[in-house]
Structure 1
Amino acid sequence: MGSFFKSFFSGSTNENTEEDKAKNDKKNFDIFKYDGIRARKIGQVDYAIRCYKEALNLEEDFETMNYLVEAYSVKNELEEAVAVAGRMLKLEPDHIPTLLARANLNFMLENYAPVLSDCEQVLNKEPENYVAYYLRAKAKKASGDLLGAIADLTKAIAAKEDFPDAYLLRGEILFGMSQFTEALQDANKVIELMPEEEIAFLLQGKINEATGKIEEAKANYQSVLDLNPFNEQAYLQLGQLYIHQNELEQAISFFDEALEIKADFVQAYNERGRAKYLKGDKKGAAEDMKKALELDPEGELAKSLEGQLKNFNDMYQGGIY
């Protein structure tokens, strides 16, 4: 009789054990997943990643993988993020947001062929997806296909007329190709859409400077500084313009102001030194160059001077600029 009951209940016991394990795994999965979410919200990204990975060891969950991709991206662990996005696409091969996310991650990794492939897949599904056109344009530009990039940006704009990023990138490419009229039109459009976009004002300034509209260029660069007094590029563009116009006192005073705002602004020391040298203040020029080298001993300035100068006393004796 005992043997009968043992045999009768043995199967049920195994089933209960498997069911209990499944319930326990599901419980632990939820604990790890939501612990990860809570950790991410309070900035504990490393712990969040550990939780997500433990959860995924228990269950291949699409949403948790997405959280893990985001966490890896925050940590700038982009290769790991790409790998997890690939796992997501095995579960949902045509998931457009994941394809675009992977394309963007690969762009940041300078892996341009996968960007083109993922964008192509998106556009096969959604021919009017402006983000895919934009990402593909960025990859084409980085790969040297400037005309292809312009074509894709034009398609992106056709699909979304109020797309400032596309106008800005197209304007930058056109500027690089000396298509100044068209580039200025794009820069103006960006400012129409985003009146406080600093990069668009910088682009306007570069175009006006290149076409000899010096006062307009100065006003453009000053507009950037009015929006953001810490914009280093605007200081350099405007300061260098003063130097090119032989307004050396203005240039020196301008870079004085820049260095009051940012005392470790290496290029400002370098450019102020150049203005001082051209004005005849060789000692002041040497002091500024020395300071620039102290702040950035491995930078471009140091490389350009390698093997040319034996000591700082020689800086102003051999035509350093």
Structure 2
Amino acid sequence: MGNFFTSLFSGSSESPEESKAKEDKKNFDIFKYDGVRAQKIGQVTYAIKCFLEALKIQSDFETMGYLAVAYTSVNQLEEASQVYDQMVEAEPDHLSTWITRANLAYMMERYESVIEGTTYVIEKDNTLANAFYLRGKAYQGLSDLLNALADLTRTIALKDDYTEAYLSRAEVLLGMRQADEALTDVEKALELSPEEEALYLLRGQIHESQDNLDAAHEDYQYVLDLNPFNEDAYVMKGKLLIKQGKPAEAADLFTDAIELKPDFAKAFAERGRAYTLLGKSKEALEDLKQAIELDPQGEEAKKIEGQHTNFDDMYKGGIF
């Protein structure tokens, strides 16, 4: 009878708890889908705020996924990693989340974490090629070439058109001084992805290891023809020219690269080496200074760290 009169005079039979639950659901949906819309149009900071507010109201797996993607897109990798940790804890059988989490860990060079996560996935389902691929890449990052080779081979057995797996296995084989086998993998990958620049660069390195320097030169130049802004191609071709006893050509090449990309620190460093071979010590020193100013945490800066008190002593110290 009491509920009847409550309904009669208030127009509703909802309890306060039910009203609050309905309001929470409404607010959750507003925050979640405002975040989704913001993310679609590139307003990622606002999207993150929306997802965080939604998750304060309700722990929702899908919203956590949106939040992790948003964090990753703005390079907040630590925050994204924490969200993925929560997601795999919430739904441990959702294997695609484990793989996405492992991808992120690989980006952060947390190779042990990649191996742990992908091993969990493989134990649940040993038919997922990308799990073996990621674990193989993690072993490669740890310089465990035998385990890397085993996992990358298993990847290819499961998916014989996996271009990245052929490329990575070729890198591993080259590291194991098995150049002929590495070349076979690269050629197979090129059949699958004939415009992939990284494959030509790797093939050039393989040719160099076989002392086939003309073929290596052709591969590096082909990449520059495809993409005049490919920094690795400039560095590899320039080093090859120096190996061939052509430092003047190498210096000219790096000058061209610097004209295209004035902040190309590695090109300054490599041109400095070429100038050193040409006896141009002043120019070499200026290039070294420029390389370190552009990349204070780079290879050249690390070489001189704690060894010299000023730039004037660098050349004398044999930095090149």
How high is the TM-score relative to the length of structure 1?
A: 0.89
Counterpart for residue 16 of structure 1 = 15
Counterpart for residue 218 of structure 1 = 217
The CA deviation string for residues 285-307 of structure 1, in whole angstroms up to 9 with x for no partner, is 33333333443455432343453
Counterpart for residue 109 of structure 2 = 110
Q: State the SS of the aligned residue for 2:126.
A: coil
* Residues in 2 aligned to 1:310 and 1:266: alpha-carbon distance in whole angstroms: 19
In structure 2, do the counterparts of structure 1 residues 8 and 96 end up closer, same or farther at CA, with 3 Å as the change threshold?
same
Q: CA deviation at 1:56?
A: 1.7
* Residues in 2 aligned to 1:311 and 1:124: alpha-carbon distance in whole angstroms: 56
The CA deviation string for residues 2-52 of structure 1, in whole angstroms up to 9 with x for no partner, is xx8599749x97843222222211111110111001111122212111111
Q: CA deviation at 1:139?
A: 1.8
The code of the aligned residue for 1:270 comes to: A
Q: CA deviation at 1:318?
A: 6.4
Q: How do 1:177-216 and structure 2 match up within 5 A?
A: 177-216=176-215
| Percent of aligned pairs sharing the same letter | 52
Q: How do 1:159-178 and structure 2 match up within 5 A?
A: 159-178=158-177
The CA deviation string for residues 122-141 of structure 1, in whole angstroms up to 9 with x for no partner, is 22332210011011112222
Q: CA deviation at 1:119?
A: 1.7
Counterpart for residue 28 of structure 1 = 27
How high is the TM-score relative to the length of structure 2?
A: 0.89
Counterpart for residue 261 of structure 1 = 260
* Residues in 1 aligned to 2:14 and 2:187: alpha-carbon distance in whole angstroms: 70
Q: CA deviation at 1:309?
A: 6.9
| Residues 183 and 206, structure 2, Cα contact 8 Å, conserved in 1 | yes
The code of the aligned residue for 1:99 comes to: W
In structure 2, do the counterparts of structure 1 residues 279 and 162 end up closer, same or farther at CA, with 3 Å as the change threshold?
same
Counterpart for residue 77 of structure 1 = 76
Unaligned runs of 5+ in 2: none
Q: How do 1:71-150 and structure 2 match up within 5 A?
A: 71-150=70-149
Determine which structure has more spread, i.e. the larger CA radius of gyration: 1
The code of the aligned residue for 2:137 comes to: K
| Residues 129 and 155, structure 2, Cα contact 8 Å, conserved in 1 | yes
Unaligned runs of 5+ in 1: none
In structure 2, do the counterparts of structure 1 residues 230 and 54 end up closer, same or farther at CA, with 3 Å as the change threshold?
same
* Residues in 1 aligned to 2:292 and 2:83: alpha-carbon distance in whole angstroms: 43
In structure 2, do the counterparts of structure 1 residues 285 and 124 end up closer, same or farther at CA, with 3 Å as the change threshold?
closer
Aligned residues: 316
Counterpart for residue 280 of structure 1 = 279
The code of the aligned residue for 2:37 comes to: R
